[in-house]
Amino acid sequence: MSRWEPDAIGRLQKAALELFGERGFEPTTVADIAARAGLTERTYFRYFSDKREVLFAGSAGLQALLADAVAGAPESVAPIDAVATALDAVVGVFEGRIEHARQRQAVISANPSLQERELIKMAALSEAVAEALRGRGVGDPAATLTAEAGISVFKVAFTLWIDPGNQRSFPVVVRDTLAKLKAVTAE
């Protein structure tokens, strides 16, 4: 077999989601995932440190995108609007991937160890946004509070967006959720 496996990450993610859906997360092994993807276990561990990590492959990219978008927002906008602009920019990544997002969320919701990993990733996302805000000259605690508010909006909007009854696009749900956060904190 060639050392070069086209789209190995994408194939491993797809295989993992299929198997976690069919058999559950715990009974599935890394060997099963690699076999389903037509790859070796060795290849799996070239990309992911453990069985959980295949579900979080997008996290580092999302974090970098979000931090860059906060840093790149027009100088004149308020911190919360820099975060809003950044969320707008990044949620485009999810377009056309709602089924993938739903399958992934179903697996995570069924497994406490995956929920823990998700919490850690979200905390890292919040800290990256806070750091990007500090880079814009926003002091603390404003930077931390604004970042936490932005990540809360992202998490809540994500849940609303993947709901089977939802008809709205992710960017629309994000904007509406931010407006609701502003309303509840303004009371």
- Binding residues (CB under 8 A) for its own copies: these are 78-81, 116, 119-120, 123, 141-142, 144-146, 148-149, 152-153, 155-156, 159-160, 177, 180-187
Picking from 182, 177, 158, the residue whose alpha carbon sits closest to that of residue 62 is 158
CA distance 70 to 73: 5
Distance of CA 21 to the CA centre of its chain: 19
User: Closest by alpha carbon to 32, among 13, 10, 8, 15?
Assistant: 15
> Measured from the CB of residue 1, what is the shortest distance to its own copies in angstroms?
36
Nearer to its own copies, 31 or 60 (CB): 60
**Cβ pair 71, 135 in contact under 8 A:** yes
- Please, are residues 45 and 66 in contact by the beta-carbon 8 Å criterion? no
Of 41 and 131, which has the nearer Cβ to its own copies?
131
How many Å apart are CA 133 and CA 150, to the nearest integer? Answer: 12
Nearer to its own copies, 33 or 91 (CB): 91
Q: Measured from the CB of residue 49, what is the shortest distance to its own copies in angstroms?
A: 14
Residue 46 or 180: the one with the smaller Cβ distance to its own copies is: 180
Residue 12 beta carbon to its own copies: minimum distance, rounded to whole angstroms: 25
Say how many C-beta atoms besides its own lie within 10 A of residue 53's C-beta. 15
CB of 35 to its own copies, least distance (A): 31
Q: Least Å distance between CB 54 and its own copies?
A: 19
- Kindly tell me which of 71 and 145 has the beta carbon lying closer to its own copies: 145
